[in-house]
Amino acid sequence: MPNSKLSRLNVAILSLSFSLLVSSCGKDDGPQTEPEPEISVEVELIKTYGGSGIDEAVSVVEAADGSYLILGTTRSSDGDITDRSGNDSDFWLLKVSKEGTIIWSKTYGGSDDENAARITKTNDGGFLLTGYTSSSDGDINFNAGFQDYWIVKINASGTIMWEKTFGFSGSDQAFKAFQTSDGGYFITGYFDVSASGGAGNDFQKGAKHGVGEYWGIKLNANGSTSWRRYFGGSNNDRSYDALETADGGFLMTGTSESDDFDKTDPKGSYDYWAVRLTADGTLLWTKSFGGDEIDNSYASVKTDDGNYIMVGDSRSSDQDVTNPRGNADAWLVKFDDNGNKIWQKSYGGSLFDTAHSIVLRNNGDYILSGHSRSSDGDLQENNGLNDVWVFIIDKDGNLKFQNSIGGSNIEFASEAIETTDNKIVVVGNSESNDLDIPLNKGSKDFLMIKLK
């Protein structure tokens, strides 16, 4: 009997030990997290929107209800555009469902031309629309001459809460505005300092450089101006993107043709150019990246390790550009918070390829969008004159997936985002009505592509 009890006790101990072993093998010391779903960039949905004129989408965000807001510029007054007349251009904002059905459509502008550049979210559930205007009527209260920065604050329903113009008598074009951590806003773009007579710089009044300058404007929460700064040299310097840094300062990025004044390290004809500011607009440093030829940067992003990546296209094959693929490549450069280059990568084929947007995924990968004429190298096919091109890279710049989408004519992509349900939504414009493109409504259409 004692031996029988001992035998049963041993079995129980062994069973408990095995259960604990199995349980411990299935857990680690930290909380369990589901792996980030992989995206294979396969097409789920393609939609076009517009009228008989030129309609070009430039930016997209996901709304709180899971729908998409697509911003662009329209010259149409028919088809999907129902609230305007005339042949000038206006901002056009579409709200569409996940299935691509139009929920509502709104245009914003005056009797002259408006050109949209970016839509960003605000903390109150609304949005900022960024671009530039030549009007002084309609939705625009004031114009200083030719083209001015135009910033429009709307609520979730698309109603204008306030709008602001900034500029002088020349060409002043805003490309991005976003809400800052202090509840205010920052705007980046460029302006014609020769037309301003040196005005537009609150810290160095009267300083004149050249024809085009990076122009950064910091706004308070109510939209009033806190400070303005411009940076550049004697030639064209254009900022297409900006972001807030970890210390509350700003990084302005874009393209520079200059080789003097604030541009201290020119590389070639046009360079990627980064301008780093403190929170009060004081210049910390500037940095150029590129080679002897034309290198244009359109977008930038903060990396999850505290650094930055600029993207665009490069025609160079020397200096910072060490592995060119063709006529022009999508080119990425990663650098630290002091402007020191970490790595650079080229992507594309033998013809013209470019990247116009980059977004960081939760898993550390990056989604890039642009357009391509190539059908070799990193690309597998080309449907026509120019295709939308979407590709995913890992944190080290290794290409994971890519897809080109289009018809027999011209397609461009301006921006891509990752949605909360782990899809990719890409927007741009299309002139085709065959192959991947189901319908053309006019000269150029808004194009939305959803990838899974």
What is the 3-class SS of 97-121, one letter each residue? Answer: CCCCCEEEEEEECCCCCEEEEEEEE
Residue 9: the pLDDT is 33
User: Is 3 contained in some domain?
Assistant: no
Q: What's the pLDDT score for residue 16?
A: 36
In the predicted model, residues of the chain with pLDDT beneath 70 are 1-37, 205-208
Contacts of 204 (CB under 8 A, 6+ apart): none
d(C-alpha 85, C-alpha 151), whole Å: 22
pLDDT at 277: 98
For residue 131, is it within any domain? yes
Sign of the dihedral defined by the CA atoms of residues 65, 68, 72, 74, in that order: negative
Q: Is residue 24 part of a domain?
A: no
pLDDT at 35: 59
* Domain annotation covers residue 158: yes
Residue 303 CB contacts under 8 Å (≥ 6 apart), including other chains: 309, 334, 360, 395
Domain range for 339 is 37-451
Q: Can you tell me the distance from the alpha carbon of 84 to that of 125, in angstroms, rounded to the nearest whole number?
A: 26
pLDDT score recorded for residue 36: 60
What CATH code is carried by the domain that includes residue 345?
A: 2.120.10.30
Q: Please state the length of the chain.
A: 452
In a domain, 15, yes or no: no
Assess if residue 10 is contained within a domain: no
* pLDDT digit string, tens, across residues 63-119: 999 999 999 999 999 999 999 999 999 999 999 999 999 999 999 999 999 999 999
Buried-exposed string 368-402: b where 16+ CB fall within 10 A, e elsewhere: bbbbbbbeebbbeebbbebbbbbbbbebebeeebb
Decide if 13 is inside a domain. Answer: no
Q: How far apart are CA 393 and CA 75, in angstroms?
A: 36
Does the pTM of the predicted model rise above 0.85?
yes
Number of neighbouring beta carbons within 10 Å of residue 255: 24
Q: Average model confidence (pLDDT) for the chain?
A: 92
Helices (H), 154-213: 193-196
* E strands, 234-281, in order: 237-244, 250-256, 271-277
The string over 6-18, giving b where at least 16 C-beta atoms fall within 10 Å of a residue's C-beta and e elsewhere, is eeeeeeeeeeeee
CA–CA gap between residue 148 and residue 170 (Å, rounded): 8
Provide the domain count of the chain: 1
In a domain, 183, yes or no: yes
